[in-house]
Chains A and B, each alone.
Chain A
Amino acid sequence: MKEQAHSPWSNRSFPEAAKDLLADSQIRRNVRHATNIIQAKRNRVVGELPDWEQLRVSGAAIRAHALAHLDHYLAQFEDNCTRAGGHVHWARDAAEANRIILELIQRHSAKEVIKIKTMTSEEIGLNRNLEANGIHPHETDLAELIIQLGHDKPSHFVVPALHKNRQQVREIFQREMHLPDLGEQPEDLASAARTYLREKYLRIKVAVSGANFLVAENGAVCIVESEGNGRMCLTLPDVLISLVGIEKVVPRYRDLEVFLQTLPRSATGERMNPYNSIWTGVHAGDGPKEFHVVLLDNGRSPILADGEARQTLQCIRCGACLNACPVYHQTGGHAYESVYPGPIGAILTPQLHQMKDARSLPYASSLCGACYEVCPVKINIPEVLIHLRGKVVQQDQKTLAGKLGLWNIGMQAAAFLFEDSTRLSLAQHLGQIGQKVVVSKNGFIEHLPLMLSGWTQTRDLRPLPAQSFRDWWAQREKAKPGAASSSSPQPSNATEKPHAE
């Protein structure tokens, strides 16, 4: 069989990719419009729950507990799922998962499969791999269908085609479904997709899904969705294969009570999902005759072992952090060049790649904290971003180029100054003199050199004032006869006096 390696989309850094997307006014308009709508809905339905904070705390506690005892709960899930007639497979990495799924499909001589939206399948490049082996996957989630037919990539993991507007969707459908007369109303587009997909549900015998949750105590699998296309895939085919990250397990059935409230409200601003499918194994005469779960590690175990970063795996993929993120608002998801975009992608993707790729992503955040504020399982994303930045710096400092790089030299020099106030004071004086070479005629700094040049491409910088605060204070103290420290109210002696050099 042919295999595709697990790789990021490209080797471009976030700032490079973001530049292209910032220039795409259509994408920016679509992203801003869609995130504003989802966020407003989310805020409305979250605001109506008096116990929202407690739900967040519970959700975080359940997920953290499950992760701390993941080995136990996964084994329990395997036992219970197997007992109920399911088959559990363990995949160490993307290649193993692809091989397992391909073999299962080939065993049934299927040439086509239907798929429910699943980020894990994007993560392992399943579609590419199936196509390379002569099997055609059909996405059935409306947004994933738009992405697939448009030969595009998802830009959001709840709303993958968020960067497309209705006109663009219509054009894709007209071209790919051969419907030149297709109308532009939402009903026209939905109806076209329904006609296109129904035939596939009835004909194709193998389905591939992901899962939102696995329940250890009874081996149940849970998928929530809005369209009902997932329900078709879960019930009509003879064979169902669910590819699920190992972190998705929760201990008890009743734990879903928390997440079935927080997930839909955070993800789509709905009080509950229109379709909530929870099933256990197989049942004669009802649903698929054969059910497989492929448990995917693919870089998750090392995250689990990192106490600081482990909370990354608490994620329930609601996408609220994307919708809240001011960086995502500007660029959309493609700038992250990763299956998982936005703030959670900025911490998850580099870790899944063992910090070998996507090393610019931990820096793709202003650390504003909007992501943490909305996270329904309280992942402190800014804290993890800083932790990962620490790893990037450590890696860089191990190389000669990194050691001699401007960033490292600049930061080492700044640290040297900040360890001693006399050094800082001296640097201030030198800066006050030395800045003359960069100060423009109008008295502002309009061009800075090297890595600082990006700052002055859109912003002027006030130069250092002639006197630092510490020098002003020293001067004031000196002016006070016999006073060790100031206590008397001063008249306004605060006028600018040039510092005597």
Chain B
Amino acid sequence: MRVSLFITCYNDTLFPETGKAVVRLLERLGHTVEFRKEQTCCGQMHWNTGYLKEAIPIIRHFVNVYRDAETIVAPSSSCVSMMRDHYMKAAELAQDAKLAADVESLLPRVYEFTEFLVKKLGVEDVGATFPHKVTYHTSCHSQRSLHLGDIPIRLLKQVRSLELLPLENPQECCGFGGTFSIKNPDVSSAMLADKVRTVLNTGAEVCTAVDNSCLMHIYGSLHRQRTFVRTAHIAEILASTAGAQEDGK
């Protein structure tokens, strides 16, 4: 299958290892990956912060870049939920019927990375090996918007040598919320403290998730406290093989 990767703006800028892992894994599974260099951002930060009219050109840009793509995969549930939950609203707000039609045609071709593996490709065992104790953080958008359910867990359970440790209160937000963590730093920190406490309680060496946004937040505290517990996007775990662990670690 020809897969068009939407890396997302913060993975592109801050977490290139995640993108490399997605490429490595999809190619290992025999698929063709393309990267359209015109891509930028899904518009989520602007939209969620209330800069609605500023988000519209960004959304329009995304739609134009991927108009003819066969399948679009993004390693971020929050970006995919931005598209599914808000793109039609944005088209309505812009009073742009053509944009609405484009969005309608595009959305069924957009997948979150783990959703793509399990729902579209029907793969659960991707042949990965990851000899570490891992706990999985259920990001808000993955559970409440995309309804991924146990898809990421099913993928992790097939990884050789991986010990999966359950996280307490998995449904509770880590407190990131994009600009929420900047506008409400104290409340966000208190939420993060609770989340990090549960991560540490598991005894895991690595905390994973389908969103690097949550992981950036959680790792921010894990590093500040010098816990030496690290975070890794699920793609980096699934791309790891017995010979090659994730890069840069």
Chain A neighbourhood of B141, CB < 8 A: 369
| Docked pose: A392 CA to B50 CA in angstroms | 7
Are B52 and A468 within 8 A (Cβ)? no
B232 to chain A, nearest CB (A): 12
Contact of B221 among A368, A459, A489 (CB under 8 A): A459
Are B184 and A414 within 8 A (Cβ)? no
Contact of A415 among B27, B46, B182 (CB under 8 A): B46
Choose, from A84-92, A138-146, A297-305, A323-331, the stretch at the interface.
Answer: A323-331
A275 within 8 Å of B by Cβ? no
Within 8 A of B (CB), among A443-501: 444, 446, 451-452, 454-455, 457-462, 464-465, 467-470, 472-474, 485-490, 492, 494-496
Are A366 and B27 within 8 A (Cβ)? no
Are A366 and B144 within 8 A (Cβ)? no
Number of residue pairs spanning A and B whose beta carbons lie under 8 angstroms apart:
222
Are B180 and A415 within 8 A (Cβ)? no
Are A492 and B244 within 8 A (Cβ)? yes
Residue tally, chain A, CB below 8 Å to B: 74
Are A490 and B52 within 8 A (Cβ)? no
B248 to chain A, nearest CB (A): 5
Chain B neighbourhood of A48, CB < 8 A: none
| Docked pose: A424 CA to B65 CA in angstroms | 15
Are B177 and A366 within 8 A (Cβ)? yes
B223 within 8 Å of A by Cβ? yes
**B-side interface mostly:** helix
A222 within 8 Å of B by Cβ? no
Knowing A386-B47, A418-B43, A490-B27, the reply to whether A444 touches B223 (Cβ < 8 A) is: yes
Are A486 and B40 within 8 A (Cβ)? no
A394 to chain B, nearest CB (A): 8
Chain A neighbourhood of B247, CB < 8 A: 492, 494-496
Choose, from B66-74, B153-161, B168-176, the stretch at the interface.
Answer: B168-176
B219 within 8 Å of A by Cβ? yes
Are A418 and B41 within 8 A (Cβ)? yes
Chain A neighbourhood of B223, CB < 8 A: 444, 459-460, 462
B199 to chain A, nearest CB (A): 14
Contact of A389 among B16, B28, B50, B58 (CB under 8 A): B50
Choose, from A12-20, A73-81, A209-217, A288-296, the stretch at the interface.
Answer: A12-20
Contact of A393 among B37, B52, B61 (CB under 8 A): B52
Chain B neighbourhood of A418, CB < 8 A: 9, 40-41, 43, 46, 58, 61
B202 within 8 Å of A by Cβ? no
Are B50 and A465 within 8 A (Cβ)? no
Contact of A469 among B7, B38, B52, B85 (CB under 8 A): B7
Chain B, residues 195-213, CB within 8 Å of chain A (1/0): the string is 0000000000000000000
Knowing A414-B45, A418-B41, A421-B38, the reply to whether A454 touches B54 (Cβ < 8 A) is: no
Are A393 and B49 within 8 A (Cβ)? yes
Closest to A392 in B: B50
| Docked pose: A390 CA to B46 CA in angstroms | 10
Are A327 and B187 within 8 A (Cβ)? yes
A376 within 8 Å of B by Cβ? no
Are B189 and A486 within 8 A (Cβ)? no
| Docked pose: A458 CA to B181 CA in angstroms | 11
Chain B neighbourhood of A365, CB < 8 A: 177, 180
**A-side interface mostly:** helix
Chain A, residues 22-56, CB within 8 Å of chain B (1/0): the string is 10000000000000000000000000000000000
Contact of B48 among A19, A386, A407, A472 (CB under 8 A): A386
Are A415 and B184 within 8 A (Cβ)? no
Chain A neighbourhood of B40, CB < 8 A: 417-421, 424
A64 within 8 Å of B by Cβ? no
A431 within 8 Å of B by Cβ? yes
| Docked pose: A373 CA to B145 CA in angstroms | 10
Are A467 and B16 within 8 A (Cβ)? yes
| Docked pose: A365 CA to B140 CA in angstroms | 12
Chain B neighbourhood of A370, CB < 8 A: 140, 144, 171-173
Contact of B182 among A424, A455, A472, A494 (CB under 8 A): A455
Are A326 and B191 within 8 A (Cβ)? yes
Are B13 and A431 within 8 A (Cβ)? yes
Are A389 and B38 within 8 A (Cβ)? no
Are B16 and A486 within 8 A (Cβ)? no
- Taking each of A369, A392, A431, which has the highest tally of chain B beta carbons within 10 Å of its own beta carbon? A369
- Taking each of A326, A386, A470, which has the highest tally of chain B beta carbons within 10 Å of its own beta carbon? A326
Are A496 and B248 within 8 A (Cβ)? yes
Within 8 A of B (CB), among A326-365: 326-327, 330-331, 335, 360, 362-365
B192 within 8 Å of A by Cβ? yes
B228 within 8 Å of A by Cβ? no
| Docked pose: A393 CA to B177 CA in angstroms | 18
B83 to chain A, nearest CB (A): 14
Chain A neighbourhood of B19, CB < 8 A: 469, 472-473
Chain B, residues 50-86, CB within 8 Å of chain A (1/0): the string is 1110110110010000000000000000000000011
Chain B, residues 1-35, CB within 8 Å of chain A (1/0): the string is 00000010101111111011101100110101111
| Docked pose: A194 CA to B109 CA in angstroms | 63
A165 within 8 Å of B by Cβ? no
B164 within 8 Å of A by Cβ? no
Contact of A462 among B14, B45, B186 (CB under 8 A): B14
Chain A neighbourhood of B39, CB < 8 A: 421
B242 within 8 Å of A by Cβ? no
| Docked pose: A386 CA to B81 CA in angstroms | 14
A400 within 8 Å of B by Cβ? no
Are A469 and B12 within 8 A (Cβ)? yes
Further 10 A-B residue pairs, CB within 8 A, beyond A368-B172, A417-B40, A458-B193: A22-B187, A365-B177, A367-B48, A424-B40, A428-B13, A467-B16, A470-B12, A470-B37, A487-B27, A494-B24
Task: Please name the 7 residue pairs, one residue from A and one from B, whose CB atoms are nearest each other, closest first.
Answer: A454-B185, A366-B177, A389-B50, A459-B220, A368-B173, A369-B144, A469-B16
23 pairs from A and B in contact (CB 8 Å cutoff): A15-B183, A15-B187, A18-B184, A326-B172, A360-B183, A362-B50, A363-B180, A366-B175, A390-B51, A415-B46, A417-B40, A418-B40, A419-B58, A421-B39, A421-B40, A424-B9, A462-B219, A467-B16, A469-B12, A472-B20, A487-B32, A494-B247, A496-B248
Where the two chains meet, the residues of A that have a C-beta atom closer than 8 Å to any C-beta of B are 14-15, 18-19, 22, 326-327, 330-331, 335, 360, 362-370, 372-373, 383, 386, 388-393, 407, 411-412, 414-415, 417-421, 424, 428, 431, 444, 446, 451-452, 454-455, 457-462, 464-465, 467-470, 472-474, 485-490, 492, 494-496
